[in-house]
Chain A
Amino acid sequence: MPRLPHLLGIEGLSPETISGLLDLSESYIDQNRSVDKRRNLLSGRTVINLFFENSTRTRTSFEVAAKRLGADVINMDVATSSVRKGETLLDTAMTLNAMRPDAIVVRHSESGAVNLLSQKVNCTVINAGDGQHEHPTQALLDALTIRRRRGSLQGLEVAICGDIMHSRVARSNIHLLQIMGARVRVVGPPTLMPTDIDKMGVEVHYSMRTGLKDVDIVMMLRLQTERMQGSFVPSISEYFRFFGLDSEKLKVAKPDALIMHPGPMNRGVEIDSEVADDLDRSVIHEQVEMGVAVRMACLEALIGGRRNSVGAAA
């Protein structure tokens, strides 16, 4: 697997790179389930979690992943509201860069902010979600979860449902699933579909009945009310009635269809508790578990092994 300088998005990755990362992730699952979870592969490396947008789950997952590989982890939570936007992004990046970390894991509320930051530092940058653009480790952990349950992504029918417009998870998953040979449908109200989404090669459905018909995987997305300016849907109850996943709507999917959600879930908004907690079909907690393995694999692939030459040269 060729070494990547950064992980900014799924778009542009080869199927070999993705398979390689998933294979590597696979090797960490048992380690994470054993009593002694720690290795020293990244001993002496410094990883900074730089979160400009609040996140507990993703930050914790990255932190656990880095620590289990023996890296030193520093968490920086910079709430966007408390800093002057933009300037601070690059200033903070340059400041942290001067402390010579091996990797900076970045989340930011603006699309492209992580790409911008990666141009200004000489360490590895991992995108932990930028605006409505990409969230590559989420797509990888989703892929790992599916692959373990179904053996392969090739030929699967996957429905991504809900707030497609505001979702970086949807974009990363669309790229990854298509690269790996799955067929993707997006399902949701027309007001939450980004323009020309069909040109990304997906099938667009405005009804859960047609959208979920015979699918292997149902990926639900969180309704991102915080990113919505103006009225996209009339009410939460109307949204749930037509686009929330419940056992009734799920009937048209394949009987063994898996239910996924990137979390955090809004129960009663996009997903009914009955299906979210269905032990036979919901893999939502498995996704969280795979998240740690995937992030360990990404860290190892990006900054593990030989000395990080970029950082060393600087």
Chain B
Amino acid sequence: MSGDILRGVPPHAGSTAYINARIIDPTAGSEYTGAILISDGKIADFGPNLFASGAPYGIQSVDCRGFYLAPGIVDTRVHTGEPGEEHKETLESAAQAATVGGITSMVLLPDNEPPFDDASLIEFVARRARQIKLTNMYAYGALTVGLEGKELAEMGLLAEAGAVGFTDADHAVGNAQVLRRALYYAKAFDALIVHLPQEPTLSGGHMSSGLMATRLGLSGIPPLAEVMMVERDIRLVEMTGGRLHLAKISTAESVKVIAAAKARGLNITCDTAAPYFALNDLAVGDYRTFGKLVPPLRSESDRLAIVEGLKSGVIDAIVSDHRPQDQDSKRVPFAQAEPGGIGLETLLPVSLELVHNGHLTLPQLFKCLSSSPARLFGLPGGKLAKGAPADLVIFDSNYAWKVDRADIWSKTKNSPFDERPVQGRVMATIVGGRTIYRDDHFAPAAAA
């Protein structure tokens, strides 16, 4: 893909009209041809009839040529190497990858070195975001000190510094008492707790257990290790009246159990990551370490259940689960390889497969990618509303290309989707009214 990241370009002083766009409004669940007016970095107006007879004189206007225009993607699960492992990814390189991927806000996981269990690190991320001036960047605070699952981190102070949620990233909290107290304590700050459900004592393996693991001679992680923890967590929410978001749901059983908990009115939400609806455990055949993820890629029937969970709305959001790993971490025997895959640049095209395959409508998809995650984390973007920040993505849903590690903006190239043919390409990314990415196929704004 080729395009330009535009940095330091000041927003157009007046107003800009994006006309002739296929507008996706996930909140209203609608899709129509229309226009959107941006003033002072905010959405001033939008609709099918706006500027129907051409943009008024004196306003800069951009002809979207029928491309889709949607609220920018809000990716709530991104890991970078900064601070600690800058050779894998910096906040800057991650922000560039996000910008190219149509992601206008991202929430950074706290499992860095040092972990984000201190307010100064939340402030550090905010300061770097102001310097980098691309995608909006937010951070999680650690749920427990050192992500060790033992003592609660300073949730109040971290929230005050700007933490938008609390999690121990890919470490499940095995101790029920700790998570119980966290759920209670978070109520004082209306903080969102995000938990990766995976029973730790059953999760010592390297891939999902089953025929493939047995054939490859790799120790397996049983799929039920996930739902066991989901069930425990649901009881803790019931006990505490707290609010919990379950991360990276990957099995059919979990979807079933979460659906039932939601039906009972419990304050539980969940997300999945793109690999879990797009790949199954065949992707680790031949010991492909790029397919080693947490949780592990599951069977085809689990994958189909995740698609169903997105269709039915049981799964609220989709995340990239971006986790860069360098060659030294991946070009080793499978059991020794670090888990994780990059995903910022492939999140949109891989998610669009759900639309191309008829599982979701575009407004439904952008509910998962933009409006729901923004709402759950209390972030300002992710929606079309008068007065909301003009964080937008313009894309061509049909453009066919092949994921190629040579074209990746991320510092490391460990994409589980490497060499996958995909459809859909970002034409422009707009944050706070400012165009921060423009594809070569999308003409620069013509002055009216």
Contacts and interface: CB of A to CB of B under 8 A. Distances in A.
Interface string B200-243: 00001000011101111111101000000000000000000000
Q: Is the interface on chain A under 10, 10 to 19, 20 to 34, or 35 or more residues?
A: 20 to 34
Contacts of A11: 215
B362 to A, nearest CB: 39
A199 B219 CA distance: 17
A115 B336 contact: no
19 contacts: A86-B331, A87-B328, A89-B333, A90-B331, A90-B332, A112-B287, A116-B332, A131-B335, A132-B217, A132-B218, A171-B214, A171-B215, A195-B211, A195-B222, A196-B209, A196-B211, A196-B214, A200-B214, A200-B215
Contacts of B286: 115
Interface string A268-306: 000000000000000000000000000000000000000
Contacts of B335: 110-112, 131
Given A111-B287, A195-B214, A196-B210, 9 more contacts: A85-B332, A110-B335, A110-B336, A111-B217, A112-B335, A116-B332, A194-B214, A195-B220, A195-B222
Interface string A68-84: 00000000000000000
B1 to A, nearest CB: 28
Interface in B274-288: 286-287
Contacts of B211: 195-196, 199-200
A196 B215 CA distance: 9
Contacts of B116: none
B217 A116 contact: no
Contact of A85 (B215, B218, B336): B336
A12 to B, nearest CB: 11
Contacts of A231: none
Given A111-B335, A115-B286, A115-B287, A195 B217 contact: no
Contacts of B395: none
Given A112-B218, A116-B287, A229-B204, A195 B213 contact: yes
B334 interface: yes
Interface residues on B, range: 20 to 34
A134 interface: yes
A173 B331 CA distance: 29
Interface of A: 11, 85-87, 89-90, 108, 110-113, 115-116, 130-134, 168, 171, 194-197, 199-200, 229
**Nearest 5 A/B pairs, CB to CB:** A86-B332, A112-B287, A132-B217, A133-B217, A110-B333
Contact of B216 (A86, A108, A111, A197): A111
A133 B211 CA distance: 13
Given A85-B336, A111-B333, A171-B217, A195 B287 contact: no
A111 B218 contact: yes
A110 B292 CA distance: 15
